[in-house]
Structure 1
């Protein structure tokens, strides 16, 4: 009899929890939503968050706040969201360099890229730009590669931090071309671009939001974009294939995630709101100006993308002997 009473109480508890979750999902959202960004202001990740926050506020009917939490190669933000209450009010703006790069870079990662997060949508993608300080006596990619080979170890390149896409991508560029450059890591695109503009480091392979305006103004030389097509904001900058290096391509993406365990109705509400937000014409215009490509994917398609890229980036990182040290 006691066993039946215990089982009855257990089912009653489950029913109570499910009822609370259902009521919560039905009233969601009834307060501000926070987008946690693993990078400082500036660059692709922060730009993507701010592109989304204003239209999402209008579509969903509650304030959407951007909260930058840089540090520990993205782990500060990822761990914060992984441990947050799964109620849809604390979300992660995830960066491909962290989401699929960190699992291969760290032996004891404090979060799991699949188990700890529920995908909501892919938001943006971006090619990268090979940019150099104008003091370098080069005018195209072939000249730059030749100059770097003639001056091994004398050029410094900036990255957004150890293990970032700009770090991994530049190491892959070095492997592809045989050049030798010294890595100078920064805490995000903002600090990195300042030293590149000052000539303290000479090379930066980064996303268009970090370098496009400086290439347009002539403060940096854009040698190539690492995608299949030229970038509309830099129509005179050739692709790597056009510049003579077809084997090197590099693309970054940004996605929106909730903590694992977030109720499916809340995920569905957020996914629908994101899709509507990214479809607004003025957001496309703002994205073009910022140098970001909007690319919505469903939760399932986003999950499939991550599962496909995890082994690919792991192989690339290990082949290039990239570490966080």
Structure 2
């Protein structure tokens, strides 16, 4: 048999096998790998999806937190997983498109190692400070930090997180000097902010909304063009005196590279159904985030666009690769 005929025979065999795999998928539980600890935007988004997705597919969608290494532990784990659709990544925008710009020699590639499945949620960010900080808007906060350059600290969820990159952009736009203190996720960061040990934390609503609503933290602005429905008394960054300061985070679902296209299509269709359920929408809104489905092609374009944007943003903010 010639090489050409052999290749044709393999292709003919592969097509029905792929179709059969898609027809039978999923035949067992799916694991959703989260690069963050419980709580916060990424974990919340995973749980917004997991229960309704389990009902849609008739199999359990299990959430598994593999935090640490600024997301790299989870990303590398999924990149090396079998590309069969049963091990998936709940990806955070700051890790997926921020880490490549901020971290030299990543152990994974945002384009080559992952297949886009679906966008899940989007969220604005909230500028929060402990009640001990005598500032009620972003202009007053900038003036407060400028009185003692380098004296005060800001928290982040880790190197490469949106709270890290976003605060460095804030520093650049305001000409302030604040020291970066990275934490392993929102939980420990918030504890130090509440205690007044750290003077600034810019993060997504799920992490801090309860503390803001009870008055334990002050929210000076949301980094979007309109006010957040769950925080109606918190001004936008423009209203608070810094109109150029805009930050949006997203969470999306990715599969390992090489996952069959029919499996990707089946996953995307089922995710769309799961996110459209009233349960998902209500749970997301209650956490202060927005369900927003995009399919594989739209998500792929979003990633390409954001990679270019964050590379420029990180360079302009003077963030050096680790």
TM-score by length of structure 1 reads 0.95
Provide the residue aligned with 2:170 in structure 1: 173
Provide the residue aligned with 1:284 in structure 2: 281
Distance 1:279 1:22 in 2: 26
Aligned residues: 322
Provide the residue aligned with 1:201 in structure 2: 198
Distance 1:172 1:5 in 2: 60
Please state if 1:98 is matched with 2:88: no
Superposition CA RMSD, Å: 1.5
Distance 2:262 2:3 in 1: 30
Asked if 2 retains the 8 angstrom alpha-carbon contact of 1:163 and 1:324, the reply is no
Give secondary structure in 1 for the equivalent of 2:32: strand
Please state if 1:33 is matched with 2:30: yes
Match of 2:71 among 71, 74, 82: 74
Distance 2:204 2:70 in 1: 17
Distance 2:7 2:138 in 1: 67
Please state if 1:260 is matched with 2:257: yes
Asked if 2 retains the 8 angstrom alpha-carbon contact of 1:162 and 1:324, the reply is no
Tell me the CA shift for residue 321 of structure 1: 2.4
TM-score by length of structure 2 reads 0.96
Please state if 1:317 is matched with 2:319: no
Tell me the CA shift for residue 324 of structure 1: 5.3
Please state if 1:185 is matched with 2:182: yes
Q: Give CA-to-partner distance per residue, 1:264-322, whole Å, 9 cap, x none.
A: 11111111111111111222111111011111111111111111111110011122222
Q: Give CA-to-partner distance per residue, 1:93-142, whole Å, 9 cap, x none.
A: 01110111111123312211112111111110110000000011122222
Q: Give CA-to-partner distance per residue, 1:196-238, whole Å, 9 cap, x none.
A: 1122211100000111110101100000000111111111000
Distance 2:32 2:259 in 1: 15
Match of 1:60 among 42, 57, 67: 57
Match of 1:118 among 86, 110, 115: 115
Please state if 1:87 is matched with 2:71: no
Distance 2:244 2:317 in 1: 16
Please state if 1:45 is matched with 2:42: yes
Give secondary structure in 1 for the equivalent of 2:118: strand
Provide the residue aligned with 2:156 in structure 1: 159
Structure-2 change in CA distance of 1:105 and 1:43 (3 Å): same
Provide the residue aligned with 2:248 in structure 1: 251
Tell me the CA shift for residue 9 of structure 1: 5.2
Distance 2:317 2:96 in 1: 18
Mark the runs of 5 or more structure 1 residues left unpaired by the alignment.
none
Structure-2 change in CA distance of 1:309 and 1:5 (3 Å): closer
Tell me the CA shift for residue 20 of structure 1: 3.2
Mark the runs of 5 or more structure 2 residues left unpaired by the alignment.
none
Match of 1:269 among 266, 270, 285: 266
Give secondary structure in 1 for the equivalent of 2:271: helix
